[in-house]
Structure 1
Amino acid sequence: SLMLDIALGIGGLPKGRVVEIYGPESSGKTTLTLQAIAECQKKGGTAAFIDAEHALDPIYAAKLGVNVDDLLLSQPDTGEQALEIADMLVRSGSVDIVVVDSV
């Protein structure tokens, strides 16, 4: 969104960096990440969502513009597994955005 671009001052999330989004419960963290995934996919990118909470609502994600069929989704059983998956995805170089929600 334009407001997020203005707040960040760089025109979106920085590529190749780790960005931590934190805040109280129900403050919009997951919504923000799903919107970022939708934008990435619209530009032809590949997105991964590591659902450590096993709480992703695919219907809600689709309403935000996420192509759920193309989303690389994993639901690990432990935080350690989540981070191992994230590391593997990043090292592969085959994804443009990796979201870990939440560890």
Structure 2
Amino acid sequence: MARNQNRHRRLERTITHIQHQWGTEAIRKGSRKTRVPPHVPTGFAALDKALGIGGIPRGRITILSGAPTSGKVTLAARVLANVQKRGRPVAYVDVMHTCDADYLERCGVRLQELLVVRPENGRQALELTLALAKRSELAAILFDHWGALGKSRQERRFASGVLDHLVGRLAKTRALFLVLDDPLPLWQRLFPFADRTLAHYATLHLALSREYWLLSGPDVRGYRAQVSILKNKFGPAHKRVPIEIHFNGTVRGDGI
């Protein structure tokens, strides 16, 4: 009996270790039914399908990286709007002080249920983010933007500590956490020793890039973008999904 109990404990530790490194769906007991993790749809049907669970996971860190007009802000705003449909407020940590409330509203975000936080510096932004993550009434937090934080070793160490605590708090509150970031530089993709603090803690990483503008005569009516799934602990990675973002008074998006 004792031998069987020890074997069972070792098996559980092995499962926990592998799931921590590779995601909860990487390994499981055959007797356990597969459960779809709590998530929020992006509003782009093709992207939701490619993600494997139907949207952005709650209680986890998701990175949206890309250059300006890549679609990352629009995608983030659409997700926030979908979160608000469930009747709970969301927060926007505006590190750069560039939050465009009018554009967010055009994407469907209800401003009366949006908290905009404008920290004085990167360190304060991280501290305020931790404070927000404690609030169970917040259903989502958008951090804009990671590239505004300092790059020194001390600042990276502080950011790593914050992320470590943040992961635990998000797991308890089930809040959705989105981080906007710059495109990954080529040297970071080539060298494994490059600092990837944020990527290490993320469950999902979507890289967006604009392909071309959508024109109607001389007028720009939107653009087509590609979403590359760089990391996905709940489904397949390394997929590319085209999406279209249209402007017509309001901002709407369609999967292709």
2:71 and 2:117 mapped to 1: Cα distance? 21
2:78 counterpart letter in structure 1: Q
| Aligned-pair identity (%) | 37
Match of 2:134 among 81, 84, 91: 91
Partner of 1:53 in structure 2?
Answer: 96
Q: Which structure has the highest helix share of the two?
A: 1
Matched residues in 2 for 1:97 and 1:10: separation?
A: 18
Q: TM-score, normalised on structure 1?
A: 0.92
The higher-RCO structure (CA 8 Å, 6+ apart) is 1
Any stretches of 5+ residues in structure 1 without a counterpart?
A: none
CA contact (8 A) 2:88 2:137 kept: no
Using the TM superposition, give the Cα deviation of residue 50 of structure 1 relative to its aligned residue in structure 2, in angstroms: 0.6
Residue 77 of structure 1 pairs with residue 120 of structure 2: yes
Tell me which residue corresponds to 2:56: 13
Runs of 4+ residues over 3 Å off in structure 1: none
User: How well do the aligned residues superpose, as a CA RMSD in angstroms?
Assistant: 1.2
Cα distance in 1 for partners of 2:107, 2:125 equals: 24
Counterpart code for 1:60: Y
Aligned length: 103
User: In structure 2, what residue type is equivalent to 1:20?
Assistant: I
Q: Is the 8 A contact 2:92 2:117 kept in 1?
A: yes
Which of the two has higher C-alpha Rg?
A: 2
Match of 1:34 in 2: 77
Matched-pair contact (CA < 8 Å) for 1:50–1:82: yes
SS in 1 for 2:48: helix
Task: Kindly state the Cα deviation for residue 57 of structure 1 after the two structures are TM-superposed.
Answer: 1.0
Tell me, which stretches of 5 or more residues in structure 2 are unaligned? 1-42, 147-256
Q: TM-score, normalised by structure 2?
A: 0.39
Shift of 1:74: 0.7
Q: Among 11, 19, 23, which residue is 2:66 paired with?
A: 23
* Inter-partner Cα distance in structure 2 for 1:11 and 1:42: 16
Amino acid in structure 2 at the alignment position of 1:40: V
